[in-house]
């Protein structure tokens, strides 16, 4: 299977040498489940798109420091591309910003949450366990870094996982779109480094709480398996 990564941001220059760019993080995550996967990166933040929507089997949209509501010239074309993917029922996954932009493009609404920043390890309870999950769980935990949240779902969306902090944590639209707020591609060392680098933004108290949460288990392998099962169904 060939996956097109819609890259919507660059890793901070202070961290890229150690941790790589987002497409590399996703390749590491998913190739741990299937070493035969192929990846193609599209720098959509710089206006680069596939010449043919079917030149890859599926798409995955990364996270970004940009808000989907910001006045950036590359965001409207990306929303148009998402609508084309939706119309064609192309298998698509959105992560963090990707989760938010897909919702916004299809009629939902993303805003800065009044609950503030979420960082470190967060846990979610499953609200629905679809048949495509070969190993469903009652709950799972992943690393997060976000202030924006999807507050209104698009038509046809179904919540698969939620928490008190993030009620729309994992969402399925039809049989071809899966999105999630958390970051299965993040590792704990990357999350810790990001928290330290952005300490002035998050505040010392939240950073201390976020770092302490890194002692908790995360279930990135289980979620990676779900991602591939969804794309292959």
CB 66 within 8 A of CB 96: no
C-alpha Rg value of the chain to the nearest Å: 16
Look-up of token digits 């002035």: 200
Helix (H/G/I), strand (E/B), else coil: 2: strand
130-138, long-range: CB within 8 Å, 24+ apart, which pairs?
130/160, 130/172, 132/229, 132/230, 132/233, 133/226, 133/229, 134/225, 134/229, 135/222, 135/225, 137/219, 137/222
CB 148 within 8 A of CB 111: yes
From CA 17, how far away is CA 111, in angstroms rounded? 32
Tell me the catalytic residues: 96, 183, 185
CB 124 within 8 A of CB 140: yes
Distances in Å between the Cα of 213 and the Cα atoms of 63, 118, 195, 200 are: 21, 11, 12, 19
From CA 100, how far away is CA 109, in angstroms rounded? 8
């Amino acid at each position: 299977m060939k996956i097109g990564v819609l890259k919507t941001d660059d890793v901070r220059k202070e961290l890229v040498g150690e941790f790589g760019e987002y497409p590399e993080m996703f390749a590491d995550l998913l190739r741990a489940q299937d070493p035969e996967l192929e990846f193609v990166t599209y720098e959509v933040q710089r206006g680069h798109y596939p010449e043919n929507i079917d030149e890859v089997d599926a798409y995955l949209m990364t996270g970004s420091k940009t808000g989907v509501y910001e006045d950036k010239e590359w965001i409207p074309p990306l929303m148009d591309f998402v609508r084309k993917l939706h119309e064609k029922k192309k298998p698509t996954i959105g992560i963090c910003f990707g989760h938010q932009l897909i919702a916004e493009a299809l009629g939902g609404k993303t805003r800065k949450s009044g609950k503030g920043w979420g960082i470190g390890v967060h846990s979610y309870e499953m609200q629905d366990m679809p048949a495509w999950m070969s190993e469903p769980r009652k709950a799972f935990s992943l690393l997060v870094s976000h202030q924006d949240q999807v507050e209104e779902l698009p038509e046809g969306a179904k919540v698969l996982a939620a928490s008190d902090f993030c009620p729309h944590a994992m969402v399925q639209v039809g049989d071809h779109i899966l999105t999630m707020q958390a970051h299965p591609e993040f590792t704990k060392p990357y999350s810790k480094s990001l928290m330290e680098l952005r300490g002035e933004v998050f505040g010392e108290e939240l950073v201390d709480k976020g770092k302490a949460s890194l002692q908790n288990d995360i279930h990135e392998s289980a979620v990676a398996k779900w991602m591939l099962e969804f794309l292959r169904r």
